Structure 1
Amino acid sequence: MADLSLPGQDGLSRSISETPPTHYILKIQSFSQLTKHKIERYTSTDFEAGGYKWKLVLHPNGNKNKAISDHISVYLLIAESNSLVLDTAENGRRFHQMKPEWGFDEFIPHAAFNDSANGYLVNDTCVFGAEVYVCQEKLIGKGECLSMIKDAITYKNTWRVEFSSLTDECVDSKPFIAADQKWKIQLYPRGKGSGVGTYISLYLTLAEPENLPPASRIYAEFTLRILDQLNRNHYFGTANYWFSASHSTCGWPRFVSNGYFNLPTAGLLVKNTCLVEAEVVVHGMANGL
């Protein structure tokens, strides 16, 4: 095992080993898509080691908060920040509420990582890992695979809403398929949360979140529109979100004000009917190993 000390990083050191990580692995397919879609920080699902829950944090383009741009930054984050932990390894670090994250601002230079001769990135696929030792306790390992999608397909669905027939607080579109997942548009005609009474609220949601494994997440870019039926000046919002079984909905409580929506010249409500469109692009999926 060769020592590769990193000066100026609080005494942290790194080394090369032929042994795979014990507690957690993060496999990333189509790694280049992280940069393409400007994903500056990726946080893994929880894994257990030493009786605590942890996350692996990756900055593929470097931690911009530390002015890093030519290295990959990698950190270990304790998921239970109210816990006080001292890693008992020789170069152990104390994790707590004020300092829940430790790691390497300059984990590996991009030049070395991208050089296929080094074997870190092969066919645009790489594997990161973590070993955490607390009180010398070892637990069964866990991992996930993040698969980014090249040339992702854009899916569209249009929903005709008859406003005169709306009596419920929330109405759902019929489910539609995008990237092998069922989705729905949710509309709150009288608003939700901060939009109650003065705005129309609009959301994209997984239609069957209960069927998604707990460790699975879907990274989607989506646009919701209320179509302008007169002038084609459509009213829209765009967002990126990691959808999961526990976080299955994303949208806007203040999507459009009632005043503008009902304005005859706006073209959003014509003959008491509006057209709502969802455009969904799934750029990646994370699944447990």
Structure 2
Amino acid sequence: MGNCKSSSRALRGKAHVVPDSEWRMQDFGKTHVPDLEWKINDFSSLLETGAKSAASAAFHCSGYNWYLKVNPVRKETGSETPYVALSLMTSRASMMPGHTVHVVFELSIYNHSKGMYCGCKATYNFHFKNTYSKEHCLIPLQELLKSPAFLVNDSCVFGVEILKIDVSSPEKKAFVVQKKATTVQNLFVQKKGFVKGTYTWNIDNFLELDLDHFVCSPTFEVGGHKWYVQMYPRGDKHSTDCLSLYLRLDASDELHLESKKVIVMTLSILDQKNGKHLTATSGLLVFTGGHGWGWADFLGLKKLKDPSGGYVVGSSCIMKADLTIFGSSIDG
């Protein structure tokens, strides 16, 4: 289960439009063999959604689940020029407390004119509380949109190759990255006909809940599929003194899915006194049956319990989920 709260930080450097000779990319040649090849079809539709990011479905490498994330409108500090930026994510469920996973990897975009990937090499220390790498700007968005080398039939191909993994842990485990066949994923974003749904979860006995475990809402249907909200009143193992909140696609839907669903979700806790609702909105995320995305640190417990805040009135707490299905993700 992933956490979609971004922890990316602005890259420091010159804040000006750079010519292609200064793009943040190098030709990788034939040595770059991606662990994930991710084709985004209908790239213009992705931009039209207004989503600040899109994440791939999971791919597996050396015992960890990984995701590739693209931010098509990344702006560096002091600059108004949007860049297409990539970052690497891992699943918190893959990480062990006390372990730091140092990863060397290459982020790339396919150059059809040259017949090779171009990109940048990066390193990052992943751990239990930090599962998102920095975002790395590759190419100005406007340059990508007018380039037949990178954008073909409104589609572009991104990649990531994990070169090395070192684990610092009490056991001092070492991993050798075993090369295997490239995972291929296709993301399809619809131009119209989006399916939207809203569900309000009224919890009348919030103070009587078993606070040491999670609580699930009744299932609700959006787009012909069953969804539910999962809440940890005292936070899950990934949180720090916060209520944790997730949206899940019901596991029973797995057998009925022809493709994975790509959605944008907004989760909220309603302020019943002041109307100052607390909300969090994701980028484009891929959901499969039984899988969830959300926020481990959704709302601090101190703020949740503050009687002036209106999040818990008497024993009443109201959660809300809004989701829009924008497309699908297909393997291969």
Q: Shorter-chain TM-score: which interval?
A: 0.5 to 0.7
Q: How far apart, CA to CA, are the structure 1 residues paired with 2:245 and 2:299?
A: 9
User: Which runs of 5 or more residues in structure 1 are unaligned?
Assistant: 1-5, 15-22
Once the two structures are superposed, the pairs formed by residues 129-208 of structure 1 within 5 Å of their partners are 129=157, 142-148=184-190, 150=192, 152-163=194-205, 165-167=208-210, 169-193=213-237, 194=239, 196=241, 201-208=243-250
1:224 is the counterpart of 2:248: no
Conservation of the 8 A alpha-carbon contact between 1:145 and 1:287: yes
1:109 is the counterpart of 2:151: no
Q: Which amino acid aligns with 1:112?
A: K
Conservation of the 8 A alpha-carbon contact between 2:234 and 2:301: no
Question: Where do 4+ consecutive residues of structure 1 move more than 6 Å?
Answer: 53-57, 74-77, 89-94, 100-103, 130-134
Per-residue deviation, residues 68-108 of structure 1 (Å, max 9, x unmatched): 837x747798x9974689xxx9999995747x999952587
> How far apart are 1:27 and its partner, in Å?
3.6
> How far apart are 1:144 and its partner, in Å?
1.3
> How far apart are 1:269 and its partner, in Å?
1.9
Once the two structures are superposed, the pairs formed by residues 206-217 of structure 1 within 5 Å of their partners are 206-209=248-251, 212=254, 216=260
Q: CA, structure 1 residues 188+249, in 2 after alignment: closer, same or farther (shift >3 Å)?
A: same
Which entry has the higher C-alpha Rg, 1 or 2?
A: 1
> Taking CA–CA contacts closer than 8 Å with sequence separation of 6 or more, which of the two structures ends up with the larger relative contact order?
2
> Which residue does 1:32 correspond to in 2?
45
Q: CA, structure 1 residues 179+149, in 2 after alignment: closer, same or farther (shift >3 Å)?
A: farther
1:281 is the counterpart of 2:324: yes
Q: How far apart, CA to CA, are the structure 2 residues paired with 1:94 and 1:259?
A: 42
Q: CA, structure 1 residues 171+281, in 2 after alignment: closer, same or farther (shift >3 Å)?
A: same
Q: Which amino acid aligns with 2:320?
A: E
Give the secondary structure class of the aligned counterpart of 2:81.
coil
Q: How far apart, CA to CA, are the structure 2 residues paired with 1:32 and 1:7?
A: 29
Conservation of the 8 A alpha-carbon contact between 2:198 and 2:321: yes
Per-residue deviation, residues 30-86 of structure 1 (Å, max 9, x unmatched): 6234254142x54545779xxxx998775534x53496837x747798x9974689x
Q: How far apart, CA to CA, are the structure 2 residues paired with 1:93 and 1:233?
A: 46
> Which residue does 1:17 correspond to in 2?
none
Percent identity of paired positions between Structure 1 and Structure 2? 12
Conservation of the 8 A alpha-carbon contact between 2:197 and 2:322: yes
TM-score (structure 2 length as normaliser): 0.52
Q: CA, structure 1 residues 265+27, in 2 after alignment: closer, same or farther (shift >3 Å)?
A: closer
> How far apart are 1:250 and its partner, in Å?
0.8
TM-score (structure 1 length as normaliser): 0.57
Conservation of the 8 A alpha-carbon contact between 1:237 and 1:255: no
- Size of the alignment, in residue pairs? 252
Give the secondary structure class of the aligned counterpart of 1:129.
strand
Give the secondary structure class of the aligned counterpart of 1:251.
strand
